[in-house]
Every structure is written in C-alpha cells, then in structure tokens.
Structure 1
Amino acid sequence: MTKILISGASIAGPTAAYWLRRHGFEVTVVEQAPALRAGGSAVDFRGEQLEILRKMGLVAAIEARSTRMGDVTIVDADGRFQARVPSAVMSGELEIPRGELSRILFEHTRNTTEYVFGDRITALTEHAGGVDVTFAKGAPRTFDLVIGADGAHSGVRSLAFGPERDFTTHLGHYAAYYTVPNHLGLDHEGRMYAEPGIGAMVTSSIDRDRMGVLLVFAAEPLCYDRRDTEQHKRILTDRFRAAGWELPTLLEGLARTDTLFFDALSQVRLDKWSKGRVALVGDAAWSAGAGGGGTGLAMAGAYVLAGELAENPGHDQAFAAYERIIRPSAKAGQNQARQTGGFFAPATARAIRGRGRVYRVLNTKPLNGLLTWLVNRTANTIDLPDYTRAA
C-alpha cells in the first residue's frame, strides 16, 4: 500500500487525508501544533465550492455550526450609515469559523488516518524508493510521497523548493484578527469603518458576547518576528492609535486579547507545485490571501490531488494533472484577492467615499444579480472531476 505523509492538520491536510484513504492509500498527518487550532476568523463557501462539501457529506454538519452571518454596514466616524455590504459578499452561501471546520474534518478522518501532533518535518531526502523524512521529535520514517498542506508559511515548501522569500509577493497591506467583548451589541451583523490607508471591521454571530475584529492597514514590507505577539500589538497600536470611530475601544481590547492573528496580505506564486515525490496543496502552493476563496479551493485541490494519484500510474503524471485542473482557479483567486487590502483600507478619502457609492448602487434591485455574479465568479471557475471509478 502506498504510504503518504501530509504536513498540516488544518483544512487542506485532513481533506486530502479523507480522499486518499477513500482511494486506498495509507495516510499519516503531522501537525506542528500540539492540538487542533481553535478559533480564527470565519471561512465561507460559495457557488461551485459547495460541491466539495456535498461530495464529503459535510453540508449538514457545517450548516449546524454555521455563523448565519447577516449584512455588514459601512459607517462614518460617528457611526452613521453609509452603505450596506450584503452577507453574500462577506460570508458567501455558507460560513463557519475556521476552527470549527478544522474540527469537523478531523472528526471525519481520525478513525482512518494516523495523526501526529506536536511534531514537524525537518528534512526530506528523496531516493528511488521514496522519501526519507526526519522529524523534530519523532523517529525518522520513509514514505512514498509527501504532501505539504501546511499553509502560506509552509515548512515543506521551504525544505523542497527553497526559502519563502523566493515565492512570496507582498500585496501592500497587513491584516490582524482578534476577539473582544461585544460592546456594540451586534447580533449576526457587522460594522465597517475606514480612514485613508487603514480599515476596521467588527462582526458578531454565534457568540453574541464576543466580536471578531479585523484590522487592515497599508504598508510596505515590515521587519518583525512572526511569532512575537506583543510586537504585533505594538505595530497595530502605532498604526491605529489616532483613528476615530470605535478604534480606541478596540485597541483597549487588543492589549488584553490572547487570540491575535497578524500577517501580511501576500501571495505564494510557484511555477510548479510539485518536485519529485513532494507536492503542495492549498495555501502552501498558491496562497491567494484574504478574499481569494482559499478555503473552498484548498479542499477542492486536495480532492483533485487525491483523485489524480488514484487514477494515474505514476505520481509525476498525477501531480501534473492535478496542477492543470486547479491552477486556473488558483490564478483567478489570486487576481481577486489583490483587491482585498484596498477594499478594507482604501488609500484616500475619495476612495472611501467611492466604496460607499459603489455599494449603494449595487444594492439596488436591477444590479443585485450582477453583485451575486461578481462575488461568485472565482468560486465558479472550478469544475470538479468525478473520481468514482478510482474510488
């Protein structure tokens, strides 16, 4: 039986594990974190992306834990209504907290897949018979194939392809997400505010005692320690300390939070997603960044990768077919995500006013259909093959 090692137990990794096991492969998933990562911002599915959930029989489970998020209102510094961003734009057709989705996928695969938490791959040595894998803690092992599903800062990509800086493109913005008490009393709704070069959005859905806070600001590449949360807080406080609306209160919450996520809005661009017996999937391969439909496409990519490995006589042909099928959708997602930073943090006061005008117009009845098409077009670029015969 072909033995496959997957790095990453968030979204793409467990999805790949599910389909690989369906096709008869022996699968091990290694995850650096000591346990499943809880929390995180919500992720959504729309258009054809829902098909992967149907194929896995997960729609009911995800609907049961969905945010059922409503519209987001754009406001001015005094909190007055400026425009409405429909839930279809911000939350798709089905939205769920990332941690909840990860847990569902883990529960869906834990009985058929070997999971190793609290460890990571430190070296890969390929030879004619497979790949010798060295771990930070566990004993060395040999696998037939290795799949990197370990996110935009992929360790597998660094080991097999080279340093992250060679493949990452900065999109000109940084983003942060954390939670605070819901002092605005939001109920399955959100508020969005911007000043030139900075933007904030707050939402509350499942837990009405808490609000999720998204902060976005424009900046050239910054020098900072990706693991230093206190440094991240200082950077954010410096950028937003003079901002109006609810930012003073939100920064007080930032100082106390232990849920902060902070990173650049960037994209991973590789000429090829595989090298020998190693392949990448999801953000490790094509990270589009926020707004690029990454979660649905990561799951679709994992499905196609597993299916092609089952249908092709060799991994070279399988990896090439997988990339041929998924790359157009990944490119479309990257094109769409380039606009995300400027949407949340328009560069000028004029651009902020223009954003409000655009959504006031798009919310009129004659243009509702156009708006739906615009937000779903990237998700609808994927047409999933049927691998029933292989399974």
Structure 2
Amino acid sequence: MKNTTVLISGAGIGGPALAHWLHRLGCTVTVVEKASAPRPGGQAVDFKGPTHERVLTLMGLLDDIKARQTGGIDQTIVDGAGRRLAVLPGEFTGGAIEIRRGDLAALLHERTTDACEYVFGDAVTSLTETPDGVHVTFEQAAPRTFDLVVGADGIHSAVRRLAFGPERDHVRHLGHYYALVDLGDLGDEALMYNEPGRMVAVGGSKAPAFFVFAADELTYDRYDVAAQREILREHYRGGGWRLPELMASIGDATSVYVDAICRVETTTYAKGRVALLGDAGYGNTLGGFGSGLAIVGAYVLAGELAAADGDHRVAFARYEERLRGLTKVTRKANAGPFLAPGTAFRIRMRNGMFNSRLMMRVMLRMSDRMATDPGLPPYPLPVRA
C-alpha cells in the first residue's frame, strides 16, 4: 500500500488507531479533526476480554495504557438520605483495564503525530468519488483528493452523512440523554443516585459528574453550552439527594456536554472508497464496547487492506463481514433504562441484581464473551515490539 493516500476524519480513538496501522503499511495518512486539539477529559473507557488485550499488545499500547489506567472502583448506589442500597462492582463498570478517554486519545496521538499529518480545527464538507479517488472539500483547507476516506468521527459522523445519507436515516434515538459536567472535586467515593427516569453519578476517579435522564428527542445545538445547562436544570428540577446542589453548581462548570443515547443502524460500513470505523459505523452510546470496538475495528480494517494488497473493494467487504459478529451487541443494547429505570420498582429490581454475586458473575462473563472474537485472524501487519 506504499503511497496510498488515506484521509481519516476523527482524531479520537479509532482514527489514530487506524493511522497507526496504515502508516506501518506505507500509506500516507491525513487525520482531520473538528476540535482545535486532542480532546482531554471525558468519561473513562475500558477494555475487556482476550481480543481487546491481543490487539492492544500488537499495537505496543498495553503497558502504556496500564501505566495510565484509573482502576475500576466500586460505585455505591444510595437513596435520598445517602443510605447504601447496592454496590456496582468496579470490574463491571471498568472492565479489565480502564483509562480516561482523554488520556487514551493523547497516547494514540503521541504515537502517530510524527508519522501522520494531523489537521485540527477543520472538517470535511463534501465527498465526491471519482474513478481515481475521493475529492474532498474542507471548511478551512483547500480541496484534496485521496485514494480512500474513513469516517471515524463519532456517532454524529459527517462522513457518514455525506457518503451514506442523513443522520435520521442511520441513527435511532433510544429515549434517554446523558450529560458529562465538570464540577470539580466531588469526593473520592463514587456514588450513584436514582429517581424514576433519571440518574446522577459523582465522585471517584470517573469525574466529571455523569447524568442520565429519560426524554423524547430534543432539538438543541450540541455546541451551545448555555442551552445544555438549561436542559439539565429542566430535567432535574425538584430532585432529591444532592441534585439541588449539583444543579446550582452547573453555571460554574468548566465544561458541559449533553447528547442523546442513540444507536447507529447502518446496513453497511462501506460505500465505494469510503468506510466507517467505530461509533460512526456501529456506535451505541454508553453501550460499554465503543472504544474496544474502535481499536479492534481499526486492526481489522487495516488487516483486511493488507491481506487484499490494498484492494479496497475486497478489503471493505471482508471488514464488514468480520465486524458483524463483534458489533451484534451494539445493535441491541440500550443503556438508558438500565442506568435510569423508569419506575421505583424497576430501580429496586436493578439494585437487587447488583446485590446478587451470581448475577454479577454471569453478567461479567457475558460482557467478556461479547467483546471476544476467537476467530480473529493474524493479519499480515507490522506490529510494534
């Protein structure tokens, strides 16, 4: 694949992971990212099972991630008076290895920035496929033509919209929203509180504060922080426990991010010379498999391109076929009702499940199994020692 030019949209997890492999195959890689720099912070992400560990090892990342891992901690579920109701084990929320999303993104960027071209503060505005490549226009930069384009730009992917059609045709709202709010130090103990249709989790190593609430699809600007603050105040008005205190603090928060819990329902991950990777192709918000799937998906996509000697038509078809099994869980799961049950009875039922050691062991085994592909082939990729 020497001298093959590839544009990757998105400098989060999947994009730099793919850049890592494609550079080693001899590709000339450009990564474009709408943000002005690698995004810090964010919620912790986790990896689980032998497939995730194998790919991280092949990338030479496993030890570095372990050195930066947060370590999954138990989360105590409390009632309005602060009394303990149940404990959500750290190994369930944090997988085998847990790391802050921003730390992982920084590590991936650090590993690829000298070998690949990164363009921050810009975004793709059009894609036109020609017999020889894909003509791409940008918000800021001059137009360019690439041999291949990969959308690794999240669940609201611009590449998917441009190549596959409007977001409404591919993304399904699942009835809940979530929010990440940086409210500073809220204590070392990780606490979670529920009322019917809403949840808040604060404290511990997974700051910022984390909110989940039931709501029909909302219309708002995802880049308007003031509007997002008001959405949170509206949906948590009249709450118990520490909710009045937290809502009063939102105005001073250094960052606020509200988005829908939704699922990508594409029927294909590739079209012509354009492919989708990670959440852009098989995202399921808060499903617990996003970063792992992005890392494995990048390995498979690069591996299939290597195995097909750069023939994208063969490689993309095999990539889709290989990922179907691993992405099956994302096509079904919905974290909203699990995190923010709609009735007091359902909250009690879920808490009871957390208090059952047998049930938790079963759920942990199922989670590892759904993240594992025992047939993942040893692709002809140059690995990092």
TM-score bucket (shorter structure): over 0.9
Q: Tell me what 1:304 maps to.
A: 300
Separation in structure 2 between the aligned mates of residue 310 and residue 37 of structure 1, nearest angstrom? 30
Q: Tell me what 1:25 maps to.
A: 27
Separation in structure 1 between the aligned mates of residue 352 and residue 144 of structure 2, nearest angstrom? 58
Q: Tell me what 2:342 maps to.
A: 347
Deviation at 1:372, TM superposition (A): 2.2
Q: Tell me what 1:111 maps to.
A: 114
Q: Does 1:254 align with 2:256?
A: no
Q: Tell me what 1:84 maps to.
A: 87
Separation in structure 2 between the aligned mates of residue 335 and residue 381 of structure 1, nearest angstrom? 18
Deviation at 1:292, TM superposition (A): 3.7
**2:183 and 2:254 in contact (8 A); partners too:** no
Compared CA separation, residues 93 and 126, structure 1 to 2 (3 A): same
Secondary structure class of the residue paired with 1:51:
helix
Identical pairs, percent: 46
- Structure 2 letter corresponding to 1:195: E
Separation in structure 2 between the aligned mates of residue 103 and residue 324 of structure 1, nearest angstrom? 31
Q: Tell me what 2:352 maps to.
A: 357
Q: 4+ residue stretches of structure 1 with deviation over 6 A? A: none
Deviation at 1:381, TM superposition (A): 4.2
TM-score normalised by length of structure 1: 0.93
> Aligned ranges for residues 277-316 of structure 1 at < 5 Å?
277-313=273-309, 314-316=311-313
Q: Does 1:60 align with 2:56?
A: no
**2:307 and 2:380 in contact (8 A); partners too:** no
Q: Tell me what 2:40 maps to.
A: 38
> Aligned ranges for residues 158-307 of structure 1 at < 5 Å?
158-183=161-186, 185-186=187-188, 189-205=189-205, 211-307=207-303
Q: Tell me what 1:14 maps to.
A: 16
Q: 5+ unaligned residues in a row in structure 1: which ranges?
A: none
Q: Tell me what 2:145 maps to.
A: 142
Deviation at 1:138, TM superposition (A): 1.1
TM-superposition CA deviations, 1:211-256 (whole Å, max 9, x none): 4211111111112122211111111101112111111121122221
Q: Tell me what 1:376 maps to.
A: 368
Separation in structure 1 between the aligned mates of residue 21 and residue 85 of structure 2, nearest angstrom? 46
Secondary structure class of the residue paired with 1:24:
coil
- Structure 1 letter corresponding to 2:316: F
**1:311 and 1:390 in contact (8 A); partners too:** no
**1:10 and 1:37 in contact (8 A); partners too:** yes
**2:306 and 2:380 in contact (8 A); partners too:** no
Deviation at 1:9, TM superposition (A): 0.7
Q: 5+ unaligned residues in a row in structure 2: which ranges?
A: none
> Aligned ranges for residues 117-132 of structure 1 at < 5 Å?
117-132=120-135
Deviation at 1:377, TM superposition (A): 2.7
The root-mean-square deviation of aligned C-alpha atoms, in Å, is: 1.6
Deviation at 1:192, TM superposition (A): 1.0
Separation in structure 2 between the aligned mates of residue 368 and residue 250 of structure 1, nearest angstrom? 30
> Which one of the candidate residues 327, 330, 334 is aligned to 1:330?
327
**1:200 and 1:344 in contact (8 A); partners too:** no
